[in-house]
Amino acid sequence: MKFKSLPKQVKILGLISFFTDFASEMLYPITPIFLTAFLGASMSVVGLIEGLAEVTAGILKGYFGMLSDKIGKRSVFVFSGYSLSAFSKPLPGILPHIGTVIFSRISDRIGKGMRTSPRDALLAEHSNNNTGAVFGFHRSADTLGAVAGPLAAMIYLYFHPGEYISLFLIAFVPSIAAIYFASKVHDKSSVVFQKEKFGYKEFWNTAPKNYKILLILLTIFSLVNSSDVFLILKSKTIAHSDNFAIAGYIFYNIIYSLSSYPSGIISDKLGKRKVLIFGLIVFSFVYLGFALNENLILMFMLFAFYGLYAAATEGISKAWVADIVIPKYRGSAIGMLNSLMSLGIMMGSFGAGIIWDKFGSAAPFILSAAVSFIVAVMMMLLLKDKKN
């Protein structure tokens, strides 16, 4: 599917995500440094802030997805969520304090939790039997922002060493662009919603069997899909260099961005199931490679394949859910998936840290490789999609 043929609303949502991630990823790497070096926070405080932020986002993704189904509106949550995140970003630069950082970070994640599931449902509603291409394009735009943001921060800090406070203010500039485009988002008028009262219990009782199986398998996978921080830390032990480890992570994001849209198009032709299973198998071999590898060049190759895994799973899983459930329940269905996977990744990251400390750096990667391969096999045996 060519870029020109994508619906205008899909392109707008892609631009919003690009500018939002540009701003977010400018700040994400420097916030821990700002907290510890400038504000005197301990590592436990940094961990607590990140934990609270991610739990908040994870829970709210499900709630606002269901709420958007209830009231029959998506765009109001998209605009409110992106706006809240935008206005929270410059606050630590205006009032440098640990409390301000906590307020800013949690407000930003509240915004993410508010917008994510309604936005994903809206993407599906603006698709035309091409959910893979639509979600793939969105992931490409989002991840391109995740590449541009850290690079912009690195360039700025090269010329202005230590001026972290200024970065919080500069990050508001792309955030303003995100708010502008968010104001242009509107709901799909042709979608008819039934505004009956319902909750997750009612939704689960009526949800298709394929959705339930997919949700359970992806939740299990999320428990071994720990934070990418562990990949960076493992890369540091391989490369013996912070710069090479960060470069590897940026390389992964570049491959992820370039591969997401083509992966989505392929999934529309071959079926989401095949592409998602391929992604899980790639993940398994990548994590096994990180567990055993000691070679710098191979490390970069593994990051490249990790980008292919992400392109084959992140947007594709949501596109598949959108295909499985009826339109009026898409917010609830994607919201439940987003929530459970966010909470699973958080728990998995905590567990990976414990396993690393007790059994060495290779152990959590070997466990993740084994479980993800089993999930791929179970998906192959238990699930079908309309393209197979």
pLDDT on residue 38:
83
Question: Whats the size of the chain, residue-wise?
Answer: 388
Amino acid at 238: I
At residue 385 the predicted structure's pLDDT band, cuts being 50, 70 and 90, is low
Residue 281 burial (CB count, 10 A): 18
* Cβ atoms 41, 98 nearer than 8 A: yes
Q: Which residue has the higher pLDDT, 240 or 292?
A: 292
pLDDT on residue 63:
92
The three-state secondary structure class of 240 is coil
The three-state secondary structure class of 104 is helix
How many angstroms separate the CA atoms of 278 and 331, rounded? 26
pLDDT on residue 72:
85
pLDDT on residue 197:
61
- For residue 151, CA distances in Å to 145, 199, 243, 322 come to 10, 43, 12, 34
How many angstroms separate the CA atoms of 250 and 248, rounded? 5
At residue 348 the predicted structure's pLDDT band, cuts being 50, 70 and 90, is confident
How many angstroms separate the CA atoms of 298 and 11, rounded? 36
Residues 156-161, mean pLDDT to the nearest whole number: 87
Residues 22-44, mean pLDDT to the nearest whole number: 81
pLDDT on residue 388:
41
Q: Which residue has the higher pLDDT, 128 or 221?
A: 221
The three-state secondary structure class of 196 is coil
* Cβ atoms 326, 108 nearer than 8 A: no
pTM of the shown model: 0.86
Q: Which residue has the higher pLDDT, 33 or 167?
A: 167
% residues pLDDT > 90 (the chain): 58
At residue 387 the predicted structure's pLDDT band, cuts being 50, 70 and 90, is very low
Residues 9-29, mean pLDDT to the nearest whole number: 92
Q: Where are the domains of the chain?
A: 8-180+198-382
Residues 221-232, mean pLDDT to the nearest whole number: 86
Residues 367-376, mean pLDDT to the nearest whole number: 97
Any idea which architecture 8-180+198-382 has in CATH? Up-down Bundle (1.20)
Q: Which tokens sit at 44?
A: 């436990």
How many angstroms separate the CA atoms of 376 and 388, rounded? 16
Burial of residue 208 (number of CB atoms within 10 Å: 0-12, 13-18, 19+): middle
Q: Which tokens sit at 277?
A: 């299973």
Lowest mean pLDDT among 42-46, 282-286, 328-332, 363-367: 42-46
Vertex 54 angle, CA 230 and 204, to 5°: 110
Closest among 216, 214, 199 to 321, alpha carbons compared: 214
- For residue 99, CA distances in Å to 43, 103, 168 come to 15, 6, 15
pLDDT on residue 193:
55
Chain-centre distance for alpha carbon 246: 18
Residue 190 burial (CB count, 10 A): 7
% residues pLDDT > 70 (the chain): 94
Q: Which residue has the higher pLDDT, 37 or 271?
A: 271
Give me the chain's average pLDDT, please: 89
